[in-house]
Chain A
Amino acid sequence: MSAPAIALNRFGLGARSDEPIPQDPQRWLLSQFERHEALPPAWQPAARTPALVGAWLRQQRAVRLAPEGQRSGIREAYLREGREAYVTAVGARVASALQSPTPFVERLVHFWSNHFAVSVDKLLIVGLAGGFEADAIRPNVMGRFEDLLLAAVSHPAMLLYLDQAQSIGPRSLVGMRAADRQQRPRGLNENLAREILELHTLGVRSGYTQDDVTEFARALTGWTLPSDEAVGAVTTTSRFVAAIHEPGARTVLGRTYPSAGEQQARAILHDLAVSPATARHLAHKLARHFVADDPPPALVQRLAETFERSGGDLPSVYRQLVAAPEVWAASAVKFKSPFDWAVSGLRALGRVELPHSQAVNLMNQLGQPVWRPGSPAGYADIGSAWAAPDALLRRVEVAQRLAAQAGSAVDARELGPRVLPGALGAQTASALARAESAGTALALLLVSPEFLRR
């Protein structure tokens, strides 16, 4: 691949046919850091977190006050609204990716959103997933990792997804009272604590133990959603409740954190965010995302050092990535994920949006439903997870449909060299030239080896 093709594809979301080819690829990438908008106009139709949390709280309150027989109806109505909010937000995410003049930053949004994955497999967060990306991820991808971490793990979508919202310290005021009355036991849930250590920060097999998980889970008790008794507009989207917080000092990874209410978990999160293990874990994931399934160890090392030296300043790490000679190696070795492949195809065809429900269906059919990975680990980021027989056939089917929608106005023989400057092979060029129709040629371009990889 040429340097412009690498900037457009390896770092970006594919070229738009109506935009000039970047003449200075590195500067084009770095300038996006200043140019990007945290919430571009494409996101306008999507509801924001305060409104979404308001709807959740109203539902909670209504269910609590309603007679038993009416509760399931209230829940169903809420899920219907949540589903509508999800569809709108997926449409916004796709439109934002299609229109973005700062596609490198857009890729980083998708990367971090998948790193801190929530999944609407858990139906009750279906409405909140879009708000999570809009309000926890998007504003924080150009700042310090610690702020991104805090925003992500304290967002109501994450608190509900990983069961933190209901976790109660057994020796907290509420926990003791429940025990006294011999009520149904309510207590600790260690799900969020474990995934923060394993997935969000240090990484698995980095030396923490089950005791560290449990202690961290105790420190996190009290982190939950706002009260459903509050009336009027929601101003905060999460809160700390002292009455369910496990009292006492906690020891995590050999360090003791004195009792300090909400600050106790914050202090642990701070130490996790700047830990060398976190630096290595994130460096490896970033390099794997942008460079190769098995990224060059020297590059990972440099990214980790930059992360540590800068105290987790993300733009410093990104700059190191753009400057790395390994990234500018010519051969395309990463197989695009379904989302990235579809977005790059639509960008090449000059599309600026899809009807919202069509955006949802497209990603479902390609095997990567938006915000619905099978687990909190998010979608896999290696080729073997995506390059498979049936998955490839789906892309051909989708390509034919997209090409048909584009009509005969687009000439693949001209489009190919524009979206893959200096990267289109002779075999593909000749296949495009020999195709029996404009539509077939376009479909072939979208499923060509050069277009499937980056």
Chain B
Amino acid sequence: MALDRRTFVRAAALMAASPVRFAHAATPRRFVFIIQRGAADGLNTVVPYAEPAYARVRGALAVDPGHGLKLDGSFALHPSLATVHGLYGAGQASFFHAVASPYRDRSHFDAQNVLETGGRAPHLVKDGWLNRLLGLLPGGGRTAVALTQAVPLALRGAIDVTTYAPSALPQADQDLLLRVEQLYATDSQLHALWSAALDAQGMAGNARGGERRQDPASLGRAAAGFLAREDGPRIAMIETNGWDTHSGQQARLAGQLKALDSLIAGLQSGLGAVWAQTAVLVATEFGRTVAANGTGGTDHGTGAAAMLLGGAVRGGRVIADWPGLNPADLHEGRDLKPTLGLESLVPWVCAETFRLDPERVAGVLFPGSGYRKPLTELLQG
């Protein structure tokens, strides 16, 4: 039986000149950011079923109130979100409606840039707010993992992070790994990437005996494998794609939300007891038009919905300064009018998760974006 990769990693870590990462983490809390790329439809995710205008403007696309999973007298969840609904019942899920970043146009790519950099406008800020958040964490454990091959923009920046995605490829042998390490010794970019890759592999192998499947629940468990470790990263980012439902929305959104629900279920089951220390924020770059379009879908809009899930969440609430869906209530006559800024919500959540000063966090994460003080506590103390 040959040495496995994690044994090699340990040996390599001892030899490496750089200090061992993930050395000591000072905070017990975990934060997961799940981005919904493509503009997820908030109105059919957290459904305002009691709003008379909803069924009218959505027509055939409206979620049947009989099928929605009821949250309170005003809102219901899409029927695909059974796990999430269970969390709500257990006081471990809160929902935010009519949410938007400071961005007010309708380009996915610019909007994702704002959502991930925390800039007031697209391309003003070069690094990501999640990377800058790492810099605020106390003591060691200042690292993060993205469950992707490449680093998403929100996690790019001065602090090295790692990435991990389940792979079906045969693993490279140890002699080659060692020689690659030497080959990159004087190339600062490749050396840093390589060290982080080996760390992540070691951690993934240790935690789960190598999770190699790529379905949403497995991806959730893979993320949990990193976060559950005492010496592991405290922050993870997971990407979901495919939310741009211009046509055939009914079936596509149901599938997307089912996958998200499975991802959350995998994350929760993988984290075990650590779930109690975890906050998961789910957000998208903007919402979709209030009215259905001509092709069984919805077009790019403004206000969206966000979710906060986890054992650390003081949940069971829908937090919304509801703007209404009548024509006069809409942003530019077509979109849900935003009444809560992600530039406020993200810093609240991050500050409470890691017990930091919210104003300081807001200044670092979303500088100059008009942060507002929180109205309520979102997490357990």
Some 21 contacts from A to B, beta carbons below 8 A apart, are A121-B242, A163-B246, A185-B292, A189-B293, A189-B294, A189-B299, A375-B241, A384-B156, A388-B193, A389-B164, A389-B196, A390-B163, A393-B172, A394-B167, A396-B177, A398-B169, A400-B170, A431-B179, A431-B182, A436-B175, A443-B172
Complexed CA–CA distance, A431 and B150 (Å): 27
Q: Give the docked Cα–Cα distance between A387 and B161 (Å).
A: 12
In the complex, A190→B289 CA distance in Å? 12
Across-interface contacts of B169 in A (CB, < 8 A): 365, 394, 397-398, 401
The 8 closest A-B pairs by CB, nearest first: A187-B294, A389-B197, A389-B196, A367-B149, A390-B163, A391-B149, A388-B150, A397-B169
Q: Is the CB of B175 within 8 A of A440?
A: yes
Interface residue total, chain A, C-beta cutoff 8 A = 55
Digitize A154-169: 1 where CB-to-B-CB distance is under 8 Å, 0 elsewhere: 0000000011001110
A184 at the interface (CB under 8 A from B): yes
Which of B148, B150, B300 counts the most chain A CB atoms within 10 A?
A: B150
Q: Does A265 have its Cβ within 8 Å of any Cβ on chain B?
A: no
**B194 interface residue per 8 A CB criterion:** yes
Q: Are A387 and B170 in contact (CB under 8 A)?
A: no
Task: Please give me the residue from chain B that is nearest to A441 by CB atom.
Answer: B179
Chain B residues within 8 Å of A188, by CB: 293-294
- Are A186 and B193 CB-contacts (below 8 A) given A121-B241, A375-B244, A388-B150? no
CA distance A399 to B170 in the complex (A): 11
In chain B between 133 and 167, which residues have their CB closer than 8 angstroms to a CB of chain A?
A: 146, 148-151, 156, 162-165, 167
Given A170-B294, A384-B151, A435-B179, A204–B110 Cβ distance below 8 Å?
A: yes
Q: Is the CB of A210 within 8 A of B176?
A: no
List A427-442 residues whose CB lies under 8 Å from chain B: 427-428, 431, 435-436, 440
Known: A389-B194, A449-B187. A185 touches B172 (CB 8 A): no
User: Quick check: A452 and B190 within 8 Å, CB to CB?
Assistant: yes
Nearest B residue to A121 via CB reads: B242
CB distance from A440 to the nearest CB of B (A): 6
Assess A444 versus B176: contact at CB under 8 Å? Given A166-B247, A189-B247: yes
Identify the closest chain B residue to A449 (Cβ).
Answer: B187
CB contacts (< 8 Å) of A185 on chain B: these are 59, 292, 294
Among candidates B108, B175, B295, residue contacting A163 with C-beta atoms closer than 8 Å: B295
Chain B CB within 8 A of A392 CB = yes
**Alpha-carbon distance between A394 and B351 when the two chains are bound, in angstroms:** 36
A310 vs chain B, min Cβ distance (A): 28
Cβ–Cβ contact B175 & A385, under 8 A: no
Contacts of A394 in B (CB 8 A): 149, 167, 169
Residues of B within 8 A of A396 (CB): 172, 176-177, 180
Rounded to whole angstroms, the CA-CA distance of A377 and B109 in the bound complex is 8
Q: B194: which A residues are within 8 A, CB to CB?
A: 389, 392-393
Answer yes or no: A447 CB below 8 A from chain B CBs: yes
Known: A185-B294, A189-B294, A365-B167. A386 touches B176 (CB 8 A): no
Q: How far is the CA of A452 from the CA of B184 in the complex (A)?
A: 12
Nearest CB in chain A: distance from B181 CB, A: 10
Given A198-B107, A205-B122, A443-B176, does the pair A388, B294 have CB atoms closer than 8 Å? no
Interchain CB contact under 8 A, B299 and A190: yes
Distance in angstroms between the alpha carbons of A398 and B169 in the assembled complex: 7
Q: A375-B108, A375-B109, A396-B172 are in contact. Are A187 and B293 (CB under 8 A)?
A: yes
B299 touches A397 (CB 8 A): no
Contact residue among B38, B59, B110, B175 (Cβ-Cβ distance under 8 Å from A375): B38
Select one of B108, B175, B179, B184 contacting A377, CB under 8 A: B108
A400 x B173 contact (CB < 8 A): yes
Judge whether B221 is part of the interface by a CB distance below 8 angstroms: no
By beta carbon, the residue of chain B nearest A427 is B186
A168–B294 contact, CB under 8 A? yes
Considering the complex, give the chain B residue whose CB is closest to the CB of A439.
B176
A374 at the interface (CB under 8 A from B): yes
C-alpha spacing A167/B295, complex, angstroms: 7
Tell yes or no: A17 within 8 A of B by CB.
no
Q: Would you call B234 an interface residue if the criterion is a C-beta within 8 Å of the partner chain's C-beta atoms?
A: no
Q: Does B4 contact A (CB under 8 A)?
A: no
Nearest-CB distance from A313 to chain B (Å)?
28
Expressed in whole angstroms, the Cα–Cα distance for A402 and B173 within the complex equals: 14
A392 and B197 in contact (CB under 8 A), knowing A166-B294, A198-B107? yes
B168 adjacent to chain A (CB < 8 Å):
yes
B171 in contact (CB, < 8 A): yes
CB–CB B200/A390 < 8 A: yes
Contacts of B293 in A (CB 8 A): 187-190
Known A-B contacts A389-B196, A394-B149; A374 and B241 likewise in contact (beta carbons under 8 Å):
yes
Q: Is A251 among interface residues, defined by CB-CB distance under 8 A?
A: no
The digit string for A113-132, where 1 denotes a CB below 8 A from any CB of B, is 00000000100000000000
Cα separation A435 to B194 with both chains bound (whole Å): 19
- Contact at A365–B186, with CB atoms within 8 Å? no
Determine the distance from Cα of A190 to Cα of B237 in the docked complex, in whole angstroms: 32
Q: Which residues of B contact A387 (CB under 8 A)?
A: 150, 189, 193
On chain A, the residues within 8 Å of B357 by CB distance are none
Contact A389 B193 (CB under 8 A): yes
Give the distance to chain A from B240, nearest Cβ to Cβ, in Å.
10
Smallest distance from the beta carbon of A358 to chain B beta carbons, Å? 12
Q: State whether A397 touches B183 (Cβ < 8 A).
A: no
A397 contact set on B, CB distance < 8 A: 167, 169-172
| Contact A444–B180 (Cβ < 8 Å) | yes
Chain B residues in 8 Å Cβ range of A200: none
Using CB atoms, name the residue of chain A closest to B247: A163
Extra contacts besides A204-B109, A431-B182 (6): CB < 8 Å: A390-B165, A393-B201, A440-B175, A440-B176, A448-B183, A449-B184
Selected contact of B37 from candidates A374, A392, A452, CB within 8 Å = A374
Q: Is the C-beta of A194 less than 8 angstroms from some C-beta in chain B?
A: yes
Indicate with 1 or 0, residue by residue over B6-44, a CB within 8 angstroms of chain A CB atoms: 000000000000000000000000000000011000000
Given contacts A385-B150, A428-B183, A431-B182, contact A391 B163 (CB under 8 A): yes
In the assembled complex, A60 has its CB within 8 A of some CB on chain B: no
Is there contact, CB below 8 Å, between B179 and A444? yes
Q: Is the CB of A163 within 8 A of B180?
A: no
Contact partner of A367 among B107, B110, B150, B193, CB < 8 A? B150
**Complex Cα gap A115–B276 (Å):** 45
Residue B205 at the A interface, CB < 8 A? no
Chain B proximity of A66: nearest CB distance (Å): 19
Q: Which of B109, B176, B200, B299 contacts A389 (CB 8 A)?
A: B200
Contact of A390 among B37, B148, B176, B180 (CB under 8 A): B148
